[in-house]
Amino acid sequence: MSIKEQDLRYLRLLATQYPTIRAASTEIINLSAILELPKGTEHFISDIHGEDEAFLHVLRNGSGSVRRKIEDVFQSELTEREKRTLATLIYYPEKKLPMILKCTDDPDEWFKITLFRLIRLCRVISSKYTRSYVRKALPFDFAYIIEELLHEQESIANRQEYYKSIIETIIQTDRADAFIMALANLVQRLSISHLHVIGDVYDRGPGAHIIMDRLMEYHSVDFQWGNHDIVWMGAAAGSGACITNVIRISLRYANMETLENGYAVSLLPLASLAMELYGSDPCERFWPKSESDRYSSNELQLMARMHKAITIIQLKLEGQIIKRRPHYQMNDRLLLGKIDPEEGTITIDGLTYPLLDNHFPTVDPDHPYELTDLEKTVLQKIRLSFANSERLQKHVRFLYSKGSMYQAYNGNLLFHGCIPMNPDGTLRHYVLDGKDHSPREFMDRLERLARQGYFADELTENRQLGLDTLWYLWSGAHSPLFGKEKMATFERYFIADKQTHVEEMNPYYQYRTRQKVIEEILTEFGLDPEKGHVLNGHVPVKVKKGESPLKAGGKLIVIDGGFAKAYQSQTGIAGYTLIYNSYGMLLASHEPFESVQKAVEQEIDIHSEMRVVEHNRRRIRVKDTDSGKMLQQKIDELQELLQAYRSGLIKEKA
């Protein structure tokens, strides 16, 4: 079949959708108009680590996008207090509205004023979208009325009464409160076109499950998997090594909310094992790191024993993977077999260290990586609990469907951790199955295997290889998500010498400040090094020590600034987020979020300092984006269809 015949076959298929010259012409006109609209606003956030209240607030205010629109529309027309109240009403309409009405002498007049303000704001925000796009975003109950108001011109004399009548009828029928909530949610919805989560929804904070519930409802989102996400994905897939890591970290920080209450994973079998094997062991090295007074000393003691029990199981399972996959080149992590139980020491790289804890009742010196029958039974019960958690499985499937190892989007490269590099600063290649893999090919291969670990048939080698890959992505020496040469889990628990605790970073972190290196990475992933940026998370930016999130001449932007409370003492701020709109890029550095209660009652927004990263002389249009290129391709195809109609190659259908 010739190329021409292939093209003609495609055009005939296209003709079934656009059966006449008129239909094809109309679509060309519509698509061409869309290309000239301003680019939608992208919102970037990274390393949320379970901080649900702060995250949900930033999602509601669009990292300041809503407040900036209020300033643009009302400027000096409203006082600062009125602007704050309007902003808070938009962020939390269901909480703020009852509080305002309690203090309002004339509710009808307040409703009228507020409805007019919200409609004005909605008009401005919706003006950058097509009517069709806005229509799809409208709440079902009020879709027709809102559409009328958004496109109504009340300044035209013969339409003033019509417009006024709609507002008055909404108030008279006691629907004003519901209508205000609908408009507030619409402002939030239209302020951000697309959300990018650059890794690490999970761990440390209590509300990862709450965050995932909200993201599943979000209108447009993608993920770049982080190392803390991938270990939960592996746990949901059934990897014992990932399951034990998830439980160990939860116990280490006394953060059981997501595991037990969020996903209903039962740890009772582990508690029974811990009491049986470590009931007389104080487990001082495993005492949870918690500043909360939520747990009693007896509960914390039980957690410590469970913590030690799961850590030993983890080390055994990881050893089994390392032995099963010699190409991982991680034999230096096989430490249980290097213990001298008689002396209470361990020898690593020719150096002998005393152990801080030498009570290993389940470790057989001759077979150190074999689980006991009791450990196998406990692991199987916990694995079933993870597999049967409907909410967890739903969240992980969502991460697979919306997520990836990296993302090239509108000329920018997004990934969580690093692009593996050699010590001399060159991009690292890998020879796998006799074939050279570039960094991009290596990441593509890892992503395919990560998907295989969840979706391949059970009890097959493909499934097992995928499961092992999920663990490798969590802590492997060359994992782009981990970015370190080792995870010193054993050393931190059992060896006092802090030199053994050091986890050397991948050379990427040494060379990522060089513009030439970042441009080489952009080129490797098929992006324009002159215009593109790398957007990165994973390693918190230590702002209080003078570190900048902008590196490599502004080509690299690191947006992990300590969103999680656990890292804020290191960074000095409470996280970065990035806004990329039609005018350019804005980097927001946030101060800590106090609480939803204070945000509503005292109208305290997150204080955010905005910094212009890049300002475009020419406003970015849809035609400049990835979706614009797809639309242009469709226009070109429709033009070919028109030519086929007019030349007689294809006939119109009545």
The answer to whether residue 595 is domain-embedded is no
Helix orientation angle between 3-17 and 626-647, rounded to the nearest 10 degrees: 100
Is the pLDDT at 654 greater than 80, yes or no?
no
Interval 586-605: pLDDT, tens: 998 888 887 888 889 888 87
At 313, list the tokens. 């199981």
pLDDT the model gives residue 2: 45
What φ, ψ does residue 624 adopt, rounded to 5°?
Answer: -90, -5
pLDDT the model gives residue 153: 61
Residue 254 per-residue DSSP state? T
State the average pLDDT for the chain.
93
The answer to whether residue 276 is domain-embedded is yes
Distance (Å, whole) CA 564 – CA 237:
26
State the burial class of residue 496 (Cβ atoms within 10 Å of its Cβ: 0-12, 13-18, 19+): exposed
Percent of the chain whose pLDDT exceeds 90: 79
Distance (Å, whole) CA 148 – CA 437:
56
Least confident of 64-78, 288-302, 417-431, 485-499: 288-302
What φ, ψ does residue 428 adopt, rounded to 5°?
Answer: -85, 135
Is the pLDDT at 347 greater than 50, yes or no?
yes
Considering the domain architecture, whether residues 307 and 184 belong to the same structural domain is answered as no
Least confident of 147-156, 231-240, 268-277, 387-396: 147-156
Q: What is the mean pLDDT of residues 253-260?
A: 93
The answer to whether residue 546 is domain-embedded is no
Considering the domain architecture, whether residues 67 and 115 belong to the same structural domain is answered as yes
Label residues 156-176 b or e (16+ Cβ within 10 Å = b): eeeeeeebeebbeebbeeebb
The answer to whether residue 525 is domain-embedded is no
Considering the domain architecture, whether residues 228 and 275 belong to the same structural domain is answered as yes
Q: Predicted confidence band at 157 (pLDDT cuts at 50, 70, 90)? A: low
What range defines the domain where residue 83 resides? 63-191
Considering the domain architecture, whether residues 122 and 187 belong to the same structural domain is answered as yes
Please report where in the chains the tokens 């909530």 appear, as a residue. 181
Helix (H, G, I), strand (E, B) or coil at 585: strand
Interval 23-57: pLDDT, tens: 999 999 999 999 999 999 999 999 999 999 989 99
Helix orientation angle between 373-387 and 227-237, rounded to the nearest 10 degrees: 100
Residue 370 per-residue DSSP state? P
The answer to whether residue 413 is domain-embedded is yes
Distance (Å, whole) CA 333 – CA 477:
10
The answer to whether residue 605 is domain-embedded is no
- What is the C-alpha R_g of the chain? 28
Q: Which of 134, 169, 191 finishes a domain? A: 191
Note the pTM of the prediction, 2 decimals: 0.93
Considering the domain architecture, whether residues 322 and 458 belong to the same structural domain is answered as yes
Angle at 499 between CA 494 and CA 504, to 5 degrees: 105
Q: What stretches of 155-297 adopt beta strand conformation (E)?
A: 194-197, 221-224
pLDDT the model gives residue 158: 64
Interval 92-108: pLDDT, tens: 999 999 999 998 989 99
The answer to whether residue 654 is domain-embedded is no
At 570, list the tokens. 């290191």
Considering the domain architecture, whether residues 287 and 410 belong to the same structural domain is answered as yes
Considering the domain architecture, whether residues 265 and 404 belong to the same structural domain is answered as yes
User: What is the largest distance, in Å, between two alpha-carbon atoms of the chain?
Assistant: 96
Considering the domain architecture, whether residues 316 and 437 belong to the same structural domain is answered as yes
Nearest CA-CA partner of 384 in 248, 243, 285, 488: 243
Considering the domain architecture, whether residues 151 and 240 belong to the same structural domain is answered as no
- 519 versus 597: which is more confidently predicted? 519
171: alpha, beta or left, given left = phi > 0 and alpha = psi -120 to 50? Answer: alpha
Interval 390-418: pLDDT, tens: 999 999 999 999 999 999 999 999 999 99
Is the pLDDT at 607 greater than 80, yes or no?
no
Q: Which of 191, 206, 236 finishes a domain? A: 191
Distance (Å, whole) CA 276 – CA 353:
29
Is the pLDDT at 269 greater than 60, yes or no?
yes
Instruction: Tell me the pairing of strands 435-437 and 42-45.
Output: unpaired
pLDDT the model gives residue 1: 40
Interval 543-557: pLDDT, tens: 888 889 999 999 999
Q: What is the mean pLDDT of residues 157-174?
A: 83
The answer to whether residue 282 is domain-embedded is yes
* SS3 track for 81-120: HHHHHHHHHHHCHHHHHHHHHHCCCCHHHHHHHHHHHHHH
Distance (Å, whole) CA 595 – CA 608:
15
- What is the number of domains present in the chain? 3
Considering the domain architecture, whether residues 275 and 346 belong to the same structural domain is answered as yes
Considering the domain architecture, whether residues 177 and 233 belong to the same structural domain is answered as no
What Å distances lie between residue 622 and 195, 475, 581, CA to CA?
A: 17, 40, 11
Considering the domain architecture, whether residues 350 and 477 belong to the same structural domain is answered as yes
Q: What is the mean pLDDT of residues 286-304?
A: 89
Are residues 549 and 585 in contact, defined by beta-carbon separation less than 8 angstroms? no
- In this structure, which long-range contacts are made by residues 82-88, counting pairs with CB atoms below 8 Å and at least 24 apart in sequence? 84/603, 84/605, 85/603, 86/114, 86/117, 87/61, 87/603, 87/605, 88/599, 88/600, 88/603, 88/605
Q: Which of 137, 166, 191 finishes a domain? A: 191
